[in-house]
Every structure is written in structure tokens, then in C-alpha cells.
Structure 1
Amino acid sequence: MPDEQTMRGVFAVPTTPFDADGEQSIKVLLTGIDRALEAGVGGFLCLGATGEALALSSEEREAQIRAVVEAVAGRAHVVVGCMAYSPAEMTALIAQAKSWGADAAMITPPFYGGLEPDAAVAALRAVMSASELPVMVYNNPHSTGTDLRPEHLAALQDTGAFWSVKETSGEASRIRELRDALDESVEVFAGADGIAFEGFTQGASGWVAASAWLLPRECQRLWELCRDGEWAAALDLWNGLSSPLAQIEGSSAFISLIKQTLSRRGAEQGPVRPPLPTASPAEVESVLSAIAGMEGEGAHA
């Protein structure tokens, strides 16, 4: 298994493919895992929003993670989304993830309650202090109603389980502020695909990327160029890559958009489970056109 110190870089976020009967298709999922591994990604973040985690049964969750862990076979890290309303439930989900072979867990502040940051930090502290796995804290104010600023996250560094932050507030300088506020032992991941390049310029040590499930080679290459300080080449790549990423990121039906785009490119995903919205044909065509333009430019570079 990779050393814990290598838990950085691109972490692809898998979709959950469904077959014609509406059942999850582990076979299609593992085809995507192999494709991303060939591109060199550092890990996978399963059972997040993109994976439609809240639409899956406990049995489906377990089947998915056990299959992914077996397929990855130590070549990358497997992180499992363990989001829930109560700290006790999050703790139980982390223990499950460990029993399935996961390397780390991702949690958010308890959602729906609209907690003030201090209350959210107290809830996260209870989970992280008891965690059996390294923890990624996902700052997603849009979904949770709570924005965990750098000073709030810094207060969790003594829990012993704080591996990383997935940052998606959209604040222009937030990743730099996090890097300044947190110890070097805590990784900072760009969590919004549309600001990955900007995040790398501010010191992000990784990228949790739904787009890396769709375009793993390009996303991994961007990370490598930024990691190695090849900023001019990275910017050239980003100027092409950012167009399809921005369209996906800006859509309320982004999960459907990723799945439909993958299906049109030969990896049939099936639909999203209701009540998630379905992307329009025009949205799908626009993303496919942007990808084709990017790939055409790359062929002539």
C-alpha cells in the first residue's frame, strides 16, 4: 500500500454506473478505475456526491468499496465519503470503511442544520478524535450551509486524524490562507474543478477531481506540470481543459452531465437516480464539443 505521506496529487471521483435494470454496474465502474490508474492518479474518492452516495443502499456501498479496493490493489489510495447528520453515524461509517479496506475517510459538517462554525467544529472534533482512519474534511458551504474558514480548521489539528482539507468555498485566496494556517502535515486539496490551476498556484498539494473520472490523463498531467513548476506548459493545458471543466462545474445537473458525456465516449453509465436532475442534450453536446476542441489542440501541440 502507498505510504501515507504520498496521499496527495489527483484523486479521481468515480460515478456510480447503473445498468438497464437500475442496478449499479461494478464491471463498468472497474473499467473506469483501470483507466484512471493507467493515467497515474494518486487515489480515488468514492461515495461522494458525484458517486450518488445518498442514493445507494448500505449493501451497494459495501459492494462498491470492496470491489474498488480489490481492483486498486494498493496502487493508489481509496477514500470513502462518510457524510451523515450525526457524529455517531459518521463514526460508524468510518469504521465500516476501514473494514472494507479503505485508506481514508471524507466527512463534512452535519448538513441541513445550518450550524454555526463553532458547532460544526465541535461535531467534527468528536468524529475525528474517534476516527480509525485519516480524515479529509470537506468544506462545502453550498451543500452544508457552513463555511469552515482556516481558523476553524486549524482548531482540529490536535485530533490526530486530520489528513487533509477539500476546499470548495470559491473564495479567491482561500487555499493560500489554508496553507498559511495549517501545519505542513495537513494536505490542502482543490475541490472545485474550475479553480484547480489557481489552487495549485496557491500551494494546493492535491486535487479532488470529478473531471479526472472523465479526463484522467489531462487532469493528472496538469497536476504533474504544476508540481514540477512547469507553469507555462501547465497554463497552456489549463486554457484548453478549463472550458469543459467550467461547463460541468457550472451545471446543476453536473453528475448527469459527467455520466452522459462518459456514455457518449463509450463508457455507458446509465442515468442518475431520482431526484437528481438530468442534463439536457444541448449541455452534453457543448461539453463534448469543448473536449473535442481541447483534444484537437493537443494533437497539434
Structure 2
Amino acid sequence: MTNPMRGVFAVPTTPFDEDGEQHLDRLAARVDEVLGTGVEGILCLGATGEALALSDAEREAQIRAIVDAAGGRANIVVGCMAYTPAQMSEHIANAQAWGADAAMITPPFYGGLEPDSATAALHQVMTNSPLPVMVYNNQHSTGTDLLPEHLATLADTGALWSVKETSGAATRIRELRRELGTEVEVFVGADGIALEGFSQGASGWVAASAWLLPQQCQTLWAHARDGRWAEAIELWNGLSDALAQIEDNPAFISLIKQSLSRRGIDQGPVRPPLPTADAESLEGLLATITALEEGL
């Protein structure tokens, strides 16, 4: 299939108020701010958004709020991960009904499936999907590394819009491009290899860091997209320090939320049992961001 959805897709955190409930006004306001930097898409209800801690009603409310806040200015992708194909299909149908443009799915989290079993389950979901689908290769959480030849078996469903690649393998983006051709988009999903992925022909970047630093992430992508590699490398040399501090921290969701809150964009806490980032990590990241902004 051919689909024009490319570029930087920011991954929202879910803001909570003092009572632990979703604060959708804060979420909508941040969507507006992020899209104002030129970011092309929003990918909600992934791990960064604490999707597994949300009820079905909260999922619906969040999707509707993001779609409304975007107002047609960006593509909205919804994480539809679940343990069974039937649950995934239900999530996708709901996402379509609530205004999403595409869905993201993975093999079952912690399922430990062999690739052939995993792709068979995904094939079933995608054959019946009313939305274009991004397949998220997340070996860390699913226990399954979907190689390019495995992902190619999903192309005949007609729904394979893209792959979000986070294995960290140095040449994987290039290998996916060679196997899948130009009809399937390939997104970098690991912030630490964003520039390397762009140099191998990635279609864009699914970035939790773009929720915190949207302008810098968007500018990095634009430089690479337009072949301005000297400018991209210069920006990357400063930005990569901040991205590493986020990506390498087990409490990265809390770290993003606390950083936003300290910068006047209140996000509240993470929901238990997710860990809370320590003060030293937070101060270190904020100092790095300040230095980055002053350098730019």
C-alpha cells in the first residue's frame, strides 16, 4: 500500500490531575503546542502514554481529545496492543470509530512467541483491519524480534503501512528498506539511533522525546530529510545527550513528565507501579536541555 504518513510522530505522556484522573485539557494544550512546531503526527496510547494503566473509557476519552485537538493538522496513530488478536481487532475498530488515522500493534507483550507464530497472529489482525497498521518491533517487551523477512509476510494483508523499528541493530533500517521496498514506511523507534536511521532511509521517527523537545526533533528530521547533513550532525551532537538520558533511564516516562512539569507543562505523576525518576536524573536532564537551547 502507498501512504503519505511520514516524518516525526510525537508520543504523548498521559497527564493526571491531583486525584489521579486524566487531565485532558492539559493533553490537548500540549498537542497544540507540539503540532505548532511542525511535527507531522501523534502516536498515542503506547508505553509512554501508560496505555496499559488506562481503562477502556479513558482510552476513548484520550483518543477523542487528541483527534479534536489535532483538528486535522496531523495524522493520529493509536497503540492497539493487546494479548489476543481479537482484543487487538477490537481496539483498532474503536480507534477508527473515534477518529484515528492508523493503528500500531505488536506481538503480545511478554508472549515470547516464535516469529512465525507472532506474524500469523498479526496477519489475522491486519487482514481485517479497517485502518493502516504500523507493526512495532519491540523485542525487549514482546520477547520476539521480527526480522525483515518476517515482516514481509504481512505485506499481502494490504494494511501494512509501516514498521516501527527498535531492535537497535546497526543496519536494520537499511535491511528493512531492502526487504520491504518503498511501499512500506520504516520509522526509527529508538531515539539513540535516530540520525543513523535517517541516513539509512528511514521514513521518519516515532519519538517520545518529541513530546518534550518537539522543535529540536523536528528540526533534526527536516535537516536529514532535506540532505542538510552538516546541520543535522551539529544538532545531533547536542540533542543526543538529552535523548540518551531519557532513553537509558528505567523511569523514562516519569522523567519526561517531571521535565515537562518543571517547564510549566504540568503532567502529574505516573500511575503505580511505574517508577518515579530521581531528583538527580531530573536535574541532569534539565541542565542538558538548557545547555542545548542556549547552544541553538
TM-score (norm 1): 0.97
Per the alignment, residue 278 of structure 2 pairs with: 280
Task: State the shift of 1:70 in Å.
Answer: 1.1
Letter in 1 for 2:108: P
- Number of residue equivalences: 295
Q: Does 2:88 correspond to 1:90? A: yes
Structure 2: which 5+ residue stretches go unaligned?
Answer: none
Per the alignment, residue 215 of structure 1 pairs with: 213
Task: State the shift of 1:71 in Å.
Answer: 1.3
Alignment of structure 1 residues 106-117 onto 2, 5 Å:
106-117=104-115
Q: Distance in 1 between matches of 2:230 and 2:177?
A: 23
Per the alignment, residue 158 of structure 2 pairs with: 160
Q: Once the two structures are superposed, what CA deviation does each residue of 1:9-43 show, in whole Å capped at 9, x if it has no partner?
A: 00000000001111110011011101111001110
Per the alignment, residue 269 of structure 2 pairs with: 271
Structure 1: which 5+ residue stretches go unaligned?
Answer: none
Task: State the shift of 1:279 in Å.
Answer: 0.4
Structure 2 SS opposite 1:294: helix
Q: Distance in 1 between matches of 2:65 and 2:259?
A: 24
RMSD: 0.8
- Contact 2:119–2:151 (8 Å) recurs in 1: yes
Q: Once the two structures are superposed, what CA deviation does each residue of 1:221-243 show, in whole Å capped at 9, x if it has no partner?
A: 01100000000000000111000
Q: Once the two structures are superposed, what CA deviation does each residue of 1:267-294 show, in whole Å capped at 9, x if it has no partner?
A: 0110000010110000000100110111
Structure 2 SS opposite 1:282: helix
Matching residue within 242, 254, 257 for 1:256:
254
Q: Once the two structures are superposed, what CA deviation does each residue of 1:180-215 show, in whole Å capped at 9, x if it has no partner?
A: 110211000000111111100011011000010001
Q: Distance in 2 between matches of 1:254 and 1:242?
A: 15
- Contact 1:110–1:123 (8 Å) recurs in 2: no
Q: Distance in 2 between matches of 1:237 and 1:205?
A: 19
Q: Once the two structures are superposed, what CA deviation does each residue of 1:156-183 show, in whole Å capped at 9, x if it has no partner?
A: 1111000000000011111111011102
Per the alignment, residue 233 of structure 1 pairs with: 231
Task: State the shift of 1:219 in Å.
Answer: 0.5
Task: State the shift of 1:251 in Å.
Answer: 0.6
- Contact 1:95–1:131 (8 Å) recurs in 2: yes
Per the alignment, residue 25 of structure 1 pairs with: 23
Q: Once the two structures are superposed, what CA deviation does each residue of 1:115-159 show, in whole Å capped at 9, x if it has no partner?
A: 000000100000000101000000000000000001000111111
TM-score (norm 2): 0.99
Per the alignment, residue 46 of structure 1 pairs with: 44
Q: Does 2:24 correspond to 1:16? A: no
Per the alignment, residue 122 of structure 2 pairs with: 124
- Contact 2:79–2:104 (8 Å) recurs in 1: yes
Q: Distance in 1 between matches of 2:285 and 2:165?
A: 24
Letter in 2 for 1:199: G
Letter in 1 for 2:153: A
Task: State the shift of 1:106 in Å.
Answer: 0.2
Q: Does 2:146 correspond to 1:143? A: no
Q: Distance in 2 between matches of 1:5 and 1:73?
A: 20
Matching residue within 29, 33, 36 for 2:34:
36
- Contact 1:106–1:135 (8 Å) recurs in 2: yes
Q: Distance in 1 between matches of 2:22 and 2:111?
A: 31
Q: Distance in 1 between matches of 2:179 and 2:251?
A: 34
Q: Distance in 1 between matches of 2:269 and 2:230?
A: 39
- Contact 1:10–1:220 (8 Å) recurs in 2: yes
Q: Distance in 1 between matches of 2:221 and 2:103?
A: 22
Matching residue within 201, 204, 208 for 1:203:
201
Task: State the shift of 1:6 in Å.
Answer: 2.6
Q: Distance in 2 between matches of 1:124 and 1:150?
A: 15
Q: Identity of counterpart residues, as a percentage?
A: 70
